[in-house]
Amino acid sequence: MTMSPSVPVTPDSELDLIRFSQKREQAWWDDYLTMNTLHDVEEAEKIGYLVRLPGGADYYKMSKYVIEELRVLHPIALAALDNISLHWHACMHEQGIPCDDLFLVVSSLTRTIERQDTLTADGYPTADGISTHCKGGAFDIGVKWYKEFDRMDALRVLDDILGSLHRSGQINWIPEPTIGAYHVAVNPNFKE
């Protein structure tokens, strides 16, 4: 297993906001299966509750820190990730933003309860109670590099897309600025 980089300390005010914001999505996913162990993930994949992601798609790639056995999502969440990445790239192209070499970096997908507990112990900002990640309904996008490589234009487009989806109730979007990630949980009950 690849070890995670050192984790900056998330201020209490940010952690409180993250945990408060996650209550919305925890209600959405309350009745869905919980992945307590890797065995649960394997069984959920066998019945089609979770689907395996490729190493990446045209417009997103997996971080090297995403554990191979956990590169799975609920089909609804995978469809959202695919749609967000395609829409992000298309919007940048339409706006004349150079994007041929850009892709979203997915830094977290499904987690087991054990993995969630490890992340909490390591200092990552995690949900109180059962995380939507442990249901297969959430993924994280690494965004720290946008600032480091002066690609705020690409980040602005992503912010616009995620903000619109959040306001419409299709997703729950939680920026986690201290660790440089965006948490995205899909609303499985959303009807257009």
Highest mean pLDDT among 5-9, 53-57, 150-154: 150-154
Q: Is 190 exposed, middle or buried (0-12, 13-18, 19+ CB in 10 A)?
A: middle
| 69-114 residue pLDDT tens | 999 999 999 999 999 999 999 999 999 999 888 999 999 999 999 9
Antiparallel, parallel or unpaired: β 138-142 and 104-108: antiparallel
- The pLDDT, as a whole number, for residue 93 is 95
Helix (H), strand (E) at residue 169: none
In this predicted structure, the answer to whether residue 61 has a pLDDT above a threshold of 50 is yes
Neighbours of 58 (CB within 10 A): 10
Domains of the chain: 12-186 (3.30.1380)
- The pLDDT, as a whole number, for residue 90 is 96
- The pLDDT, as a whole number, for residue 54 is 78
In this predicted structure, the answer to whether residue 169 has a pLDDT above a threshold of 50 is yes
If you search the block for the tokens 């995205």, which residue do you land on? 184
- The pLDDT, as a whole number, for residue 1 is 44
In this predicted structure, the answer to whether residue 49 has a pLDDT above a threshold of 50 is yes
* Mean pLDDT, range 145-166, rounded to an integer: 94
- The pLDDT, as a whole number, for residue 121 is 83
- The pLDDT, as a whole number, for residue 56 is 64
Q: Which residues contact 63 (CB under 8 A, 6 or more apart)?
A: 105, 106, 107, 108, 142
Give which of 83, 82, 54 is closest to 66, Cα–Cα. Answer: 54
